[in-house]
Amino acid sequence: MDKKRTEARAPSARSRDRGRATRRRLIEATAQLCTERSGGEVSVAEIAHAAGAFPNQVTYYFGSKDALLVHAAFLGLLHDARRLERLGHQAPDAAAFRRNVARAALAMPSLPSAARALAAAVSRPELAPVVDRHLQLLFRQSERFARRLLDGRGWKARRPLAVEARTFWSTALGAVLLVRAGAHGTVADLDLAGALTIHDEAERG
């Protein structure tokens, strides 16, 4: 009896593994296509072909193409945020850190896609929980990075790091949304560095 149960569980586990692998391939292929298209439209057929999957697997695993686009947009944003962290570690002082990180964040290719995901969640309430999960992951990742950086450098922040991370990304994403909505100006007009309060010994006075 135990042997039969084990044999029954094995195919199920393999099926789940295949499902997770397919889901991951779909997200990664979508993220890559969106980056290559610079925000242009990507079809379900193109996504499936790039991922080595079937078009109906998009709706099977994600419910809709829009939900898949949200996952892909934030996957790209999280990867870019990791690269941003490496840049931040190279800054010689806190002023350079604020300046370099802000400039690089606004130039990230994933930022417009993430902003579109936010806009989609406004008109598609079923996407809101997906967006929120990814945003919370982004905020936590950035908060952990800031804590490691401050502990290692002896720098300080003038507010809790959870607030620091949320304020930074909310400002960056909000700037892109404003530009996409037709507001006059560009993201270059924004003082994103001013949204950071991280400082070092020389600035404490």
Same structural domain, 48 and 133: no
- 102: closest CA among 187, 204, 200, 201? 187
Q: Which of 40, 63, 86 is the last residue of a domain?
A: 63
The residue whose two tokens read 């499902």 is 19
The last residue of one of the domains, among 63, 89, 110, is 63
Give me the CATH number covering residue 139: 1.10.357.10
Identify whether the C-beta of residue 156 lies closer than 8 Å to the C-beta of residue 138.
no
Strand partners, 156: 199
Domain that holds residue 102: 64-205
The total number of structural domains in the chain stands at 2
Q: Which CATH number do you get for residue 39?
A: 1.10.10
Instruction: Show the tokens assigned to 30.
Output: 């979508």
Do residues 24 and 52 both lie within one domain?
yes
pLDDT in tens, the chain (205 residues): 555 555 445 557 777 878 889 999 999 999 888 877 765 678 899 999 999 999 999 999 998 899 999 999 999 999 999 999 999 999 999 999 999 999 999 999 888 889 888 888 888 888 999 999 999 999 999 999 999 999 999 999 999 999 999 999 999 999 888 877 766 666 667 789 999 999 998 886 5
